[in-house]
Structure 1
Amino acid sequence: MTPLRLYWWNAVPNFGDAISPVIVGHLAGREVRHAAPKDAEMFAIGSLLNVVRRVFTEGTPPDTRPVIWGSGALRAIRGDRLMGKVQFALVRGPVTASLLGIETDSFGDPGLLISDVWPAGGQRREALGFLPHHSLMDDPDTQAFVRAHPELTLIDPRDPADQVCEAIAGCRHVFASSLHGLVVADAYGVSNTWVDPKGQGRLKYHDYAASLGRDMRAPLPLDAVADHTLPDPDAPLPYQPAIDAARAALRRSFPVQLRQEHAA
């Protein structure tokens, strides 16, 4: 069987992008290989629709239309330029849907399914995790903050994806400026707080939060992390029903034609 051709961003190591082929392969039941955007059958995890827009032009033949499954926009995008050039199975959130002019009440970031692939190991949740955006790992403010707060466990998003997910699952709370630090924490039922992503666009965070009805209007400043009041680590996430609904929508919308039993 030919591998499924998936595009994911891999310019630098980043666990949030690296879990895309893991999750897609799990649902498809077949090997997944990285493909250039113009050759991809599917786009999944990531704010990839602006890339899709640049690549797929009006001349794209209908039989090469890739499937969009859980991707989102990074910035404003003209939806009419994409219609008929790609197949929308599901988008990440309502902000993306609105930009594209898609009427739907089903959304989901595929990262929410990572706990299906790598279940939590049952470890005690004691650590307070701090997971910066990958671009901030070498930032002087980040490094100074980590040195000043040894009570926090630094989780490096550039580490192997399975190790990062295991570390998140073992936390009682995660502070993250990485979007998929928040998404994966939600997948494992670990409470989490959005920390100022320092220069990163905020549309993707609001898109994800709106997909779950999360109150994520503004990020927590880095200097406010130490004094932040933590929720009960044993309490369910207040938006857990929305997570369950998004996970169901993701499973339901995964394209049948890309599953092992239907693929050529």
Structure 2
Amino acid sequence: MKKEEFRMKKEIKVKYSKIGNMGDLLNELVIEDVLGFKVIHSDIWKSETTAIGSYLRFFFHENTNLTTKSKIMLKKLYGQFQPPLQIWSTGFITYSDKELIPIRKEINVASVRGELTRKRLEKILNKELNVPTGDGGLLASHLLKGPIEKKYSIGIIPHFREKDEKRFLELKEAYNNSVVIDLTDDPLNVVKTISQCEVIISSALHGLIVADSFGIPNKRLIYTNNLLGDGYKFDDYYSGFNIKVDSFDLNNPGNPTINEIIDGYKVTETQVEAKKGALYKSFTKYL
């Protein structure tokens, strides 16, 4: 065994949801296997950086008609003894016009998920943010080594809160050589299966993002109201590409054809590769 294999990775405290869902567990895979840090799952008070997911809401409080003096005191109370926070790759989860105030004394923005989040943070922090946009899930393609063999014509990905809905099994029957991908399976296997598909349809944001990472045409599905948020995270992600995408509502009759998915795909390989480089570089900016 080589000497460098014994070296300990630098530990970093990260706020994310440690649940059995590929989108959340990408934090561990990407930060450890791609970026080279040891992830320590942390709460909002001890975390050093945000990462993949809609976690910014945890680091800001709504202004509830407090006086200016009270707001200043509240910020000092919450942030005085907390370490600096780096914001990387993260976004908000809902649309809101409520005033937000940070709970950390020092917040440094390295990158954000999309333009919607960047503009909201500019308003909250009262400063211009010239930072890259992109979701850290775009680095998922770096998790796999060697050539990728395509096995499926289409991959169908229900959000993990919709995995038991029969409509997705009906989709599988509607397409030849299809596979339903369970986001609660081993996350690396999920990434690998996505990479083996010619096209992807998904009601989960990170099913779409991982597909983008591999340059796989994809389309968003809408079905139930089980997902958290109001669609902001999807709009935020695509705002970073300066595009709006059409989704397919599974409550309507019919299904999108593979040609429709390919023809309607707007994310380019050039954009994705640029974001991968910017995300990789920006991760250590404030660490």
Q: TM-score, normalised by structure 1?
A: 0.84
Q: Using the alignment, how far apart are the partners of 1:133 and 1:48 within structure 2?
A: 18
| CA deviation string 1:96-142 (max 9, x = no partner) | 11122254362010010111222464212533100011111123443
Which residue does the alignment assign to 1:47? 54
Structure 2 counterpart of 1:153 = 179
CA-atom RMSD, angstroms?
2.8
Deviation at 1:18, TM superposition (A): 0.4
Give yes or no for the alignment of 1:89 onto 2:118. Answer: no
Cα distance in 1 for partners of 2:141, 2:257 equals 30
State the secondary structure of the residue aligned to 2:33: helix
Instruction: Give the unaligned 5+ runs of structure 1.
Output: 259-264
- Summarize the alignment of residues 1-264 of structure 1 with structure 2, pairs less than 5 Å apart: 3-10=11-18, 12-54=19-61, 58=75, 59=77, 60-61=79-80, 64-76=83-95, 81-82=101-102, 84-101=105-122, 102-104=128-130, 106-119=132-145, 121-143=147-169, 145-146=170-171, 148-149=173-174, 151=176, 152-199=178-225, 200=227, 201-216=230-245, 218-222=246-250, 223-227=253-257, 229-230=259-260, 239-256=268-285, 258=287
> Would you identify which runs of 4 or more consecutive aligned residues in structure 1 move more than 6 Å?
none
Is the Cα contact below 8 Å between 1:213 and 1:239 reproduced in 2? no
TM-score (norm. length: structure 2): 0.78
Equivalent residue pairs, number: 252
Q: Give the AA of the match of 1:104.
A: N
Sequence identity of aligned pairs in percent? 23
Q: Distance in 1 between matches of 2:149 and 2:193?
A: 10
Question: Partner of 1:128: helix, strand, or coil?
Answer: strand
Bigger radius of gyration among the two? 2
For the 8 Å contact 1:15–1:157, the answer to whether it is kept is: yes
